[in-house]
Amino acid sequence: MIPLATTGEELGLLGSEGFVAAAAWPVDKIVANINIDQTGMLWPIADVVADGAERSSLAAPVARAAAELGVAVSPDPVPEQAFCIRSDQAPFARAGIPSMIFRPGFLDRTGSTSHNRALFEKWRSTAYHGPLDKLEQIPPIDFESGITMARLAFLTALEVANADARPRWNPGGVFAR
């Protein structure tokens, strides 16, 4: 596993596009990209979204890691936002590397999604990438959720790293080659 921190996402995925175009590591040797840019931490995590994983064999390690941590894996609750193709995993996916991004789902411990969806929508409309995008403008950070997301990413990456076979895009999918 090699961690990579990119910059310039909001300016057009500059860091990830630049890395894929002139990688310090041969792109054909990169087996997967697991983006943890959107870990949230605005509410207690009961489910996660693994955008892109469902399009590849990454879905299985994600499901096992989530089950181990007692969180559900949910479909994207806001597909109209197109996070899967607008974030730093997209250049890797276009280069043929199975890629995904973890995000918190909206499910709460009561089984409802309305409260967390409302928090998300308020944050996106009033603070995200704006002058109010400061810690004091959002709900208190839920550090336990951050720990859960870090564990989820670690367990998924560990399984991918220890697997006998590389992850593969699902046949017939948009990124399959």
Q: pLDDT for 98-143, tens place per residue?
A: 999 999 999 998 999 999 888 888 877 776 665 555 555 566 778 8
Please report which helix (H) or strand (E) contains residue 103, including its range: strand 99-104
Q: Which CATH architecture has domain 9-162?
A: 3-Layer(aba) Sandwich (3.40)
Predicted local confidence at residue 120, as pLDDT: 82
**CA distance linking residue 168 with residue 18, whole number of Å:** 23
Q: pLDDT for 61-102, tens place per residue?
A: 999 999 999 999 999 888 777 677 777 777 888 888 899 999
- 90 phi-psi bin (left φ>0, alpha ψ -120 to 50, beta other): alpha
Q: pLDDT for 6-60, tens place per residue?
A: 765 565 566 676 777 777 778 888 899 898 877 778 889 999 999 999 999 999 9
Average pLDDT of every residue of the chain:
83
Alpha carbon of residue 101 to chain centroid:
2
Encoded tokens for 37: 């840019």
**CA distance linking residue 132 with residue 149, whole number of Å:** 25
Predicted local confidence at residue 71, as pLDDT: 96
- Closest-CA residue to 136 (of 145, 124, 123, 149): 123
Pairing of strands 72-73, 99-104: unpaired
Domain ranges of the chain: 9-162
Average pLDDT for 155-169: 96
